Amino acid sequence: PGDITFLSETASCERIIKLLGYQPQWPNQFRDGVILEYCGEGDLFKYFERRWTNHIMVTEDTMWRVFTQLMEALAYLHQGHGSGRNKDEWKPIVHRDIKPENIMLVSSDNTPGSVLNLKLADFGVSAFYDPNNCSFVNKGTPTYQPPEQVNGKATPAGDVWAVGAIIHFMGHGVRPHVNTVDFAREWRKANPGVTPLGSDRKSYWEQRATRLAIPLNQDKKEWQPTYSD
């Protein structure tokens, strides 16, 4: 399985979840058993959810911690930084599905005296990166993907975009694209009578919605993005 291949390659990275054991065809012939290190604080999305539910804002310090730790993981995946191998010997890995739900927390700042300590997980759709052949059938989560990945091209830059999308989500509470409902409405208005295959699914419009990032240091009252922007 893909998870096993890539977790075996990344065993020495402290920012990637550790593979502790693997048993094929367990508990039955149709499934494999995988044992991963324990991350007692759940995933990053649950962390956000708990804070928002309790009306606790995500601080700039937390954003920097998430950004720094995720970039450490990407430096390892993309360039082998920290692997003990030369860059020329390292075969780059693209994760292709970086999102808060795939980032596990060993510890968090919800506990007094503790700090956010995260691990990148879920390598089920990951792949070795070949710049001469980086096309694939798109999987993953469109709302955290750049346009080229939605169109079937996965590169290390796409993983970096996903990290930026997470920081955007932390700062604004929305992903970096226009409202998909508004986008679909405007598209249908501009293309009357046209019903693309699959357009009844939310993911169809999430894949195609215009990407739009709001600067984190800008007062939202100063500029409200619209479809025409």
Q: With H, G, I as helix, E, B as strand and everything else as coil, classify residue 112.
A: coil
- The answer to whether 97 is a known catalytic residue is yes
Judged on CB neighbours under 10 Å (0-12, 13-18, 19+), 148 is: middle
Q: CA–CA separation, 200 vs 192, rounded Å?
A: 15
Q: Give the DSSP letter string of 142-169.
A: GGGS-HHHHTTB--HHHHHHHHHHHHHH
Options 3, 32, 61, 97, the catalytic residue: 97
* Distance of alpha carbon 31 from alpha carbon 165, whole angstroms: 33
Give the tokens for residue 100: 């808060």
Distance CA 173, CA 220 (A): 12
Terminal C-alpha separation, the chain: 43
Active site (catalytic) residues: 97
